Structure 1
Amino acid sequence: MASTPSVASFKNRALKLESAESVQKLFDGIDLTGIEKLVMSGNTLGVDAGKGLAEVIRKMPNLKAANLSNIFTTRSIDEIPGALTPICTALAECPNLVDVDIGDNAFGQRAVDSVMPLLTNGPPLEVLKIANIGMNVEGGRSLAGALAGAAKRHRDAGVLPKLRTLALSRNLLGDGSAEAWANAISCYPTLERFESNRNEFRESGVTVIATALGGCTKLRRIVIEDAVVGNVDNDEVDGLVRGWKAIADLVRQSAPNLEMLHLPSCSFRTEGCEELVSALNDEFYPNLKSIRFDHNDFEDSHFQSFLTALKTKLPALSFMKVTTNDDLEDDPHLEEIGRILESRKGRFVRLHEDSFSDEDDVEVCSDDDANIAGEADPDTSVDTLIELLDKNLSV
């Protein structure tokens, strides 16, 4: 076990745990009352093992962070609820819990109810990572409603909600759940990091979510990927707030604190690209270090305008990716953008031969959210994310 007095980590041990006893044996000799961070990711738990882990968690009164990502590999959907429900019920009883990661379990909509005790009865969370759990539309609506309900419950008890990080990626949430997520987001103005990629949000969904994020005045990291911010079918609709306009307004509102702006594969189209670059010219962004505009429709005129922003409004920018746009070769404005970023000891990814694999994902919401002393997790600040991009690694 990799541990310190406050961290119990069994990360990536590939343990196949079947019984309560097999779990309890892992913790033999450990003072559970001193554990602040628990890491079980990269193992697989059956029903009885899940119940055993729940009993162990109940003996951790000072638990602050629980990483339970990827703990059901090879398990059937019939097994997972029986293991997950007691775990989430036990987590809800931990009064100091602030950080939970149950991502990369892909247990599907049938197991969403198993997560509910954590939100309906648990303490106010600061970090919630539920990426790639297979929510889909109905499950997404249910969890979003529970998250909004949790905020009301805490406020009624005189405790202000304090969620800072929300990671929702790879859940195929669709526009059918977007209103529910927008409502949940509006309950947490403390939000600093938002990540949503591969959720099949189209223009109406993007618009309501971006508008809700506009109420989060401390927003530092925005990741919206594989969405449609400009549906061609809406071009003739009078008075419609376009998705790209909602995103651009969000960027403007986030200018003082924004560190990361990743918007790849969002179908910005010409009007959207113009609006987004205008937003970067309209405000001063003292902390913005990383931008991804790849797989959109930026062209030379947009790069020319962006160059002005880079020189006057983006003093900290040191990473940018623009692959799969227009006018990428032999463009003097792109050449100058590259020179400026190089002079800042940064990186400009312009063509695919410059880039890391398209299969590599850099998750914006990383383990620095709950800085629990002890485990030597990699530093995942924006600077380090940029460095990892440069090394073709994913966090």
Structure 2
Amino acid sequence: MTSTDISRVTDQLAKTKVDEQYELSFKGKGLKLNAAADAKEIVTEIEKCKLMTALRMEGNTLGVDAAEAIAKALEKHPEFQRAHWSDMFTGRLKTEIPKALEFLGAAIMKAGSGLVELDLSDNAFGPNGVVGLVALLKSPSCYTLQELRLNNNGLGIGGGKMLAECLTECHQNSVKAGKPLKLRVFVSGRNRLENPGATALAGVFKALGSLEEVAMPQNGIYAEGITALAEAFAENKNLRVMNLSDNTFTQKGAKNMANVLPKLQNLEVINFGDCLVRTGGAIALSNALKEGHQKLKELNLSGNEISKHGASVTVENMNNKPNLKKLDLNCNMLGEEGIQEVREAMKKINKLEILASLSDDEGSEDENEEEEENEEEADEEDVGQDVAEGEEVNDPELQVKGKAISPNKQTTAKEFLDFPSASKLLQLGSGRAQALREQLGADVNDLEKAVQAFMKISSVVTVDDTKTKEAACDCADQIIEEAVKCNQENDAVLLANTILVHIGVLKGEEKTYKPPSNITGPLLVLEHIVRQPYFPKFSREMLQAFCSKPHPLLDSASQARHKLLQTLYAF
């Protein structure tokens, strides 16, 4: 190689840009940043960085003045790309958060940064928080956005619509600028978007056509919203991950989703767990996946009231999926015979090892052809609206179109309180709260007895079982509300003190009382109760003070504790 050749290669290498990531992290430090002076360490480190493409601030709490100080330092980093800012506003007022976000967003825009990732998950800022993001989301700094994570923010319908408007304008402006927005990842779970919010966002997804991963679990979306999302997903041919778990498809929504699945041949993960797709919906979905979909790795249809027939058809349709690593049909209605049939069918196609546990199967019902036909015709209007002899039935667990059916087993409020279990609570049906109140009688007027009942009800709740949690929240809510009304003369200290004793955070006078070893359920239900108008403000403040301190029981239920504290700080 001549000197001229060497010189040419050297010049070429000099012109080559190496894409490196320089991340500055303050993750999990638990910093309380109120004034600008509190943020001095962070500001100094940002200013010292010659090249900072990512900033991690998770697990701290940021006030307005501190955010302004950090923002000024961010203005000097046009290369900034990734904002890892989840769980960053614990304890902040809802009026503070939008201002803090406005400062940070303005800094990114002033620097001329091109964001690639924005993660603001687990910040309970509600629709008001989106106000602080409007300018940023519409700006050229977001034309480059690839990943948007807004999980567990309490957006609601209003926040969802506002977000959709911002993204729509961003996309339209980016197209005009010749730099079309190509969002790949959108995460917005646990936000109560419901049909209107989901439909508004579906319009954005349809226009984008660039999505690869969508996660929108637990948003109260029914068939109408699911249908809108399905139609939007049809335009996103590269979609790999679809997580819509814990919404309410019904068979109508499931069948509409099934209609678009053949267009999405790049799917790798489908999570439709706890979506009430029922047998007809499961068959429609798996039939749509039968041909093609060679990249499919995971299919979750757990908790969907699927019969053994629906499960068998689903298994059969998974026969030609060489990359399938997990099939989840747990918490359905297979019965012992159905479980055995499914396992045998999976064994026959050499896929038994990928079948998730069926340990929580809810047992089969007596089925006949007429019932299956009715079930397959069920739609969104059936949820909570079944009628038997003119009587309205509001329990989705007891539905078949045009008639009400009984659960597999009957139980009483007394049997539940004597030996609490999730199945017994659900078997009490739609009148469970009233039945429990009647069983408690005059005891519901006694705070001590009411909290004891609350502990029994909430003890059956787990993180992943939404149906049981909703039932428990409804029952506990009515009992505690009645107890609070009957004890208005007492101050709020007694209520908070009684709860803290029963979850084991405080020692009570009753030395024989032993708190439960696992308080995840009580904390999850308590998070619902403290949001209610009847719950005293000072009781919230007491719970916040004690639950924010280190304690073995609280530490062992860290996820539920974190959610409770987020809610307490938000008030």
- Tell me if both proteins adopt one fold, taking TM over 0.5 as the criterion: yes
TM-score by length of 2: 0.57
- 1:72 partnered with 2:80: no
Report matched runs for 1:107-256 at 5 Å: 107-121=125-139, 122-124=141-143, 125-230=145-250, 242-255=252-265
- Does the Cα contact within 8 Å between 2:215 and 2:243 map onto a contact in 1? yes
- 1:317 partnered with 2:324: yes
Decide which moves more: 30-39 or 146-155. Answer: 30-39
Amino acid of the residue matched to residue 177 of structure 1?
G
Decide which moves more: 336-345 or 170-179. Answer: 336-345
More relative contact order in 1 or in 2 (CA 8 Å, sep 6+)?
1
What secondary structure, in the 3-state scheme, does the structure 2 residue paired with 1:216 have?
coil
More helix by percentage = 2
The match for 1:329 is 336
Equivalent-residue separation in structure 2 for 1:92 and 1:292 (angstroms): 41
- Does the Cα contact within 8 Å between 1:318 and 1:341 map onto a contact in 2? no
The match for 1:271 is 280
TM-score by length of 1: 0.81
Equivalent-residue separation in structure 2 for 1:97 and 1:40 (angstroms): 16
Decide which moves more: 99-108 or 20-29. Answer: 20-29
Change (3 A) 1:114 1:326: same
Change (3 A) 1:88 1:341: farther
Query: 1:114 Cα shift?
Result: 0.4
Query: 1:349 Cα shift?
Result: 2.6
Equivalent-residue separation in structure 2 for 1:51 and 1:66 (angstroms): 16
Change (3 A) 1:317 1:336: farther
What secondary structure, in the 3-state scheme, does the structure 1 residue paired with 2:90 have?
coil
> How far does the alpha carbon of each residue in 1:108-144 deviate from its partner, in whole angstroms, 9 at most, with x for none?
1222210112211133210001111111111111111
The match for 1:303 is 311
Residue number among 26, 34, 43 corresponding to 1:10 in the alignment: 26
- 1:40 partnered with 2:57: yes
Change (3 A) 1:342 1:149: same
What secondary structure, in the 3-state scheme, does the structure 2 residue paired with 1:323 have?
coil
Change (3 A) 1:67 1:248: same
What secondary structure, in the 3-state scheme, does the structure 2 residue paired with 1:352 have?
coil
Equivalent-residue separation in structure 2 for 1:222 and 1:272 (angstroms): 17
Structure 1 stretches lacking a partner, 5+ long: 232-241, 362-393
- Does the Cα contact within 8 Å between 2:282 and 2:314 map onto a contact in 1? no
Residue number among 350, 355, 359 corresponding to 2:463 in the alignment: 359
Change (3 A) 1:54 1:345: farther
Query: How much is the aligned-residue C-alpha RMSD, in angstroms?
Result: 2.5
Equivalent-residue separation in structure 1 for 2:29 and 2:344 (angstroms): 47
- Does the Cα contact within 8 Å between 1:141 and 1:180 map onto a contact in 2? yes
Larger Rg belongs to: 2
Residue number among 272, 296, 302 corresponding to 1:294 in the alignment: 302
- Does the Cα contact within 8 Å between 2:203 and 2:232 map onto a contact in 1? yes
What secondary structure, in the 3-state scheme, does the structure 2 residue paired with 1:316 have?
coil
- Does the Cα contact within 8 Å between 1:328 and 1:334 map onto a contact in 2? no
Q: How many percent identity over aligned positions?
A: 28
Q: How many residues align?
A: 344
The match for 1:25 is 41
> How far does the alpha carbon of each residue in 1:50-99 deviate from its partner, in whole angstroms, 9 at most, with x for none?
11221122122211111100101011112212212111222344433211
Structure 2 stretches lacking a partner, 5+ long: 1-19, 362-460, 466-558, 560-571
Equivalent-residue separation in structure 1 for 2:196 and 2:230 (angstroms): 15
Equivalent-residue separation in structure 2 for 1:69 and 1:341 (angstroms): 43
Amino acid of the residue matched to residue 322 of structure 2?
P
Change (3 A) 1:338 1:57: farther
Decide which moves more: 220-229 or 23-32. Answer: 23-32
Query: 1:176 Cα shift?
Result: 2.0
Equivalent-residue separation in structure 2 for 1:352 and 1:264 (angstroms): 14
Change (3 A) 1:318 1:340: farther
